[in-house]
Amino acid sequence: MPHDDHDHDHEHVHHEGMSPSGHPYRADQDEPLTYWQTMEIAVRELLEEKGIFSAAEIATAIGRMDARSPADGARVVAKAWTDPAFKARLMADGSAAAAELGCAIDALKLVVVENTADTHNVIVCTLCSCYPRNLLGLPPDWYKNRAYRSRVVKEPRSVLAEFGLALPDSIRVRVHDSTADMRYIVLPARPAGTEGWSEERLAALVTRDSMIGVGLPHAAA
């Protein structure tokens, strides 16, 4: 160990490669660009030189993508909770209904799956990391992680319990694997005690995890 000149007579245990709080540091990305990263930069610069698009337009597009957040999905959920006709349209054609609220789903199709008294839905993409980015923004790291992707299709109840959501056997669990062109969000059940609440107030109860299906909305305060 490289700390031989140190006084080790302290109770603080310092693990190699760990932060003082005991978490691993993320490695710096000091390795050279990969073939595909180089290819992306080259193609992008060529397209800029040819005037197909400008660097500013790319920055704007990235900004637009980064601006999407679970607040968009929460607006859709709150609207469905308060407007039965909207909910019917949302269940029949998720993309068209989300577009009514200004959430374009682009080329992909949105399927909304509803939690009820006897059904709980949860979403995964086992093949890669398909995620309803238009409604929820960028996916959390764990969603792309191999452990979540491989385990939630095999032992969803154990995985949900690890998220703090223990479901009784009386509730049927439905796992949705986003294998192709659909994207999914869960329509969670409306929390009790929220009768008469405005859409805005309801939306504040809707969490990202409740729309992935690994959590529930906040309870009415």
Partner 1 sequence: MPEITVRVKTWPSHGLHVRTPRYLRGKRGVIERELGRFPNPEQLAYGLPAPERKLVRVRFTMAEVWGAGAENPDDTLDAEIYEHWLEADEG
Report the Cα 22 to chain-centroid distance in Å.
26
Instruction: Provide the minimum distance between the beta carbon of 52 and partner 1 in the complex, in angstroms, as a whole number.
Output: 18
Residue 157, interface with partner 1 (CB under 8 A)?
yes
Of 6, 154, 201, 218, the one binding partner 1 by CB under 8 A: 154
Of 181, 192, 195, 221, the one binding partner 1 by CB under 8 A: 181
Instruction: Provide the minimum distance between the beta carbon of 47 and partner 1 in the complex, in angstroms, as a whole number.
Output: 17
Is 103 in the active site? Answer: no
Instruction: Provide the minimum distance between the beta carbon of 150 and partner 1 in the complex, in angstroms, as a whole number.
Output: 9
Spot the catalytic one: 69, 128, 158, 198: 128
CB atoms within 10 A of CB 79: 19
Of 83, 155, 162, 200, the one binding partner 1 by CB under 8 A: 155
Residue 62, interface with partner 1 (CB under 8 A)?
no
Residue numbers at the binding site for partner 1 (CB under 8 A):
109, 111, 126-127, 153-158, 169, 172-182
